[in-house]
Amino acid sequence: MWPFLQFLTVGNPHFSVLAFYTVLVLTLYGLLGALIWLKPLEVAKKPYLTWAIMIPMLILPLWLGPVFWILTVLLISIYGFKEFAKGTGLYEQKAYCLTVYAVMIALAGFAIINDYGLFMVTPIWGVVALTTIPVFQNRFENAIQNMALSVVGLVYFGWFLGHLGFLVRSEYGLGYLLFVLIFTQFNDAMCFLWGKLFGKTHFTAISPKKTIEGSVLALLSSMVIAFLNWPIAFPHFEWWLVALAGFAVSFGGQMGDLVMSTFKRDLGVKDFGTLLPGHGGILDRVDSLVWVSPIFFHMVRYFHSGFGC
């Protein structure tokens, strides 16, 4: 254990981890604010002020306990799917949307009772239920399109993001979750920063500003950051698993961002919504987490178990 982190071993370890990351987030937020206003960086002020609302909304439920956090993830999932459904036109198909919402609520319930088996199988039965809707409606027009959009919404915004709630059910869940939450966002910022400073080779029409140099340097940076967080976020990990955790956050974050960019380009929109000034909609802020959450969850479960089993 690093000397300056020894105080974290005293008392309740869950409280210590949460206290550490709360202080870290508030400190980084304050330093970033000073930079933005002293520079000044006018373009960054609106998204920065929006984070002043988002940070308490994410941190407070963690202090209140696992159930509050899982319910927070549920609300994010529901609103994220609503943005997706409105953007694709699915929102007018109430039966499909209500079915997806019901599956999301069930997934949250199984996370609360820590039932891994039901959490894993529920999306399959949700898909089955979606395929029966045209039969009960006695309609076949656009059935495949509506079912396909609903399945994407259920899997991506219900099940994938639902892993973000289930992460707290592990013995080391708070460390896992806070590492994923904080440094997935940080990875996004590093992709942008390294791309601006060193990026030369653009590699995708889906997101033309992304560069190979920015992506690779962000990945390496995330692996270094994982080692810096090793003593507090996952002290029981082997060194190679720490490196894999950093890789998962960066690779998953970048893939999640590109997949959502694909959706937006196909829909011809810049953002999924306007709920978060300077950011867009909920999905514009959690797009990276959509991939990171299940990747990190199943990586940890495979090597260390601890989720309902």
Closest CA to 214 of 198, 228, 237: 198
156 class by beta-carbon count within 10 Å (0-12 exposed, 13-18 middle, 19+ buried)? buried
List the domain range (segments joined by +) for residue 160: 66-167
- Same domain, residue pair 155 and 179: no
- Within a domain: 271: yes
- Within a domain: 194: yes
- Within a domain: 6: no
- Same domain, residue pair 275 and 182: yes
> Residue 215 half-sphere exposure, CB side, CA atoms within 13 Å?
18
- Same domain, residue pair 113 and 90: yes
- Same domain, residue pair 87 and 156: yes
- Same domain, residue pair 302 and 204: yes
β-strand partners of 202? 211
| 209 SS3 class | coil
pLDDT tens digits for the chain (309 residues)? 333 343 343 445 667 899 999 999 999 899 988 988 888 878 778 888 998 999 999 999 999 999 999 999 999 999 999 999 999 999 999 999 999 999 999 999 999 999 999 999 999 999 999 999 999 999 999 999 999 999 999 999 999 999 999 999 888 899 999 999 999 998 988 898 888 889 899 989 898 888 999 999 999 999 999 999 999 999 999 999 999 999 999 999 999 999 999 999 999 999 999 899 888 999 999 999 999 999 999 999 999 877 665
- Whether the bond between 277 and the residue before it is cis, its omega within 30 degrees of 0, is no
- Same domain, residue pair 260 and 308: yes
Whether 254 and 204 have beta carbons less than 8 Å apart is answered as no
Distance CA 86, CA 12 (A): 44
What is the total count of domains within the chain? Answer: 2
- Same domain, residue pair 193 and 109: no
pLDDT at position 7 is 38
- Within a domain: 209: yes
pLDDT at position 308 is 60
How many other CB atoms are there within 10 angstroms of residue 107's CB atom? 28
Cα Dmax for the chain? 68
How many other CB atoms are there within 10 angstroms of residue 249's CB atom? 30
| 192 SS3 class | helix
pLDDT at position 8 is 41
* Three-class SS of 97-165: HHHHHHHHHHHHHHHHCCCHHHHHHHHHHHHHHHHHHHHHHCCCCCHHHHHHHHHHHHHHHHHHHHHHH
- Within a domain: 27: no
- Same domain, residue pair 194 and 276: yes
- Within a domain: 152: yes
- Same domain, residue pair 132 and 196: no
Distance CA 159, CA 124 (A): 10
- Same domain, residue pair 124 and 178: no
Whether 243 and 226 have beta carbons less than 8 Å apart is answered as yes
- Within a domain: 74: yes
Chain Cα centroid distance, residue 236 = 23
- Same domain, residue pair 238 and 226: yes
Could you identify the residue written with the tokens 């400190």?
A: 27
- Within a domain: 31: no
- Same domain, residue pair 152 and 98: yes
pLDDT at position 6 is 39
Residue 14 gets the label, from left (phi > 0), alpha (psi -120 to 50) or beta, of alpha
pLDDT at position 12 is 53
Query: Among 134, 152, 167, which residue terminates a domain?
Result: 167
pLDDT at position 5 is 40
Query: Among 142, 167, 192, which residue terminates a domain?
Result: 167
Query: Among 148, 167, 186, which residue terminates a domain?
Result: 167
